[in-house]
A = this chain, B = another copy of it.
Amino acid sequence: MVVPELPAHRPLQAPPRLKDVAAKVGVSTATVSRALTGSGPVSSKTRQRVEEAAKELGFVPSHHASSLASGRSRNIGVVLPYVDRWFFATVLDGIAGTLTGAGYDAALYNLQGENFLESVLTDFLLRRHLDAAAVVSLRLDPSETEQLFSAGIPLAGIGGSLEGAPTVSVDDLDAGLRATNHLIELGHRRIAFVGGPPEAGRSFPMASDRRRGFERAMTAAGLEIDPRWLLVADFTFSGAYQRVKSLLAAPADRPTAIFAAADEMATGAILAAANLGLQVPGDLSVIGIDAHPIGEAFGLTTVNQHARQQGTRAAQLLLQQLSGDPVTASHELHPTNFLVRSSTAPPV
């Protein structure tokens, strides 16, 4: 007998439904639902028989049906500008791990810059009836958050404050201040800064705040800020490597220390120095921000901003709101801490 070949991607037979389980046990679908979701009283005998029957039949509840009926989807959106950059990937790891552990799904909205922002907000977030959303490093205006709230979607933010929602971030100005002060306290007076381009669009002023911290520390110490020593890179290793290499190439008027607004740039700076035959920290001290794992091999002194924990915390804030526990819409500053390694020392 010839069995016709069915396309492999179509079900061979209808999967079992709630009512099949109910029939098998001889109870109503309501009871099965209660037994399986724990959403109501069921005798332990019945519960047990239902669970057995469900397993035997290989029953898997329909997500869409239960979402439609209950109004909850156990699906949480995570909106972020990049996934292929260390900070964002690490934050995402923290968020996704926490959500998965709590039985929630993470729906990824990778904007790749801000390309998809508009369509994500309208087409996706609302249409999909997410239970909640985490917004990373993106400014939403009050009308947008209001729109989400009135669609019943609680938010949590990372990187800057969001009207009406709890947010977490580190104090970037303070981090910049402390990093710079560390160099100043070591005795450096000629300090360069490697930052990013001015923030555009919906980004929070993370890089600017770190630069302002730098400037404030310098000014407070009565030190001069040489405009040629305010470098603009793009938060990449290679970008910083090139900028710093040109800066250090002229031996005449060199800084004795560099504060880079991110570890990837700081390590790029160290490589640039090394390739010019300069010793770190002998000829040049370098400090960064992040605690990026690459810093370890470079012996980079840095300010740990606990990226993964920030993600975890944001996820918790979401879960807490979903559990009905009210959360104050405050901006929470995540502590940073110094990680002194071998890239900083007093100037020679």
B83 in contact with A105 (CB, 8 Å): no
Contacts of A294 in B (CB 8 A): 237-238, 264, 294
A124 in contact with B105 (CB, 8 Å): yes
Known A93-B83, A127-B60; contact A152-B11, beta-carbon cutoff 8 A: yes
Cα–Cα, bound, A103→B61 (Å): 25
Cα–Cα, bound, A116→B61 (Å): 19
Integer count of this chain's copies in the complex: 2
**How close is A80's CB to chain B, nearest CB, in angstroms?**
10
B112 in contact with A93 (CB, 8 Å): yes
For residue A39, CB closer than 8 A to chain B, the reply is no
**How close is A339's CB to chain B, nearest CB, in angstroms?**
14
B112 in contact with A97 (CB, 8 Å): yes
Task: Report A203-220 residues with CB < 8 Å from chain B CB.
Answer: none
The residue in chain B whose Cβ has the minimal distance to the Cβ of A126 is B60
Task: Report A263-281 residues with CB < 8 Å from chain B CB.
Answer: 264, 268, 271-272, 274-275
The residue in chain B whose Cβ has the minimal distance to the Cβ of A280 is B275
Task: Report A286-333 residues with CB < 8 Å from chain B CB.
Answer: 293-294, 296-298, 308, 321, 326, 329
* 8 A-B pairs with least C-beta separation: A241-B297, A64-B67, A64-B68, A238-B297, A238-B296, A84-B93, A89-B89, A96-B110
Interface residues of A (CB under 8 A from B): 7-13, 15, 60-65, 67-68, 73, 75, 78, 82-86, 89-90, 92-93, 96-97, 100, 103, 105-110, 112, 116, 120, 122-124, 126-129, 149-154, 164, 236-238, 241-242, 264, 268, 271-272, 274-275, 293-294, 296-298, 308, 321, 326, 329
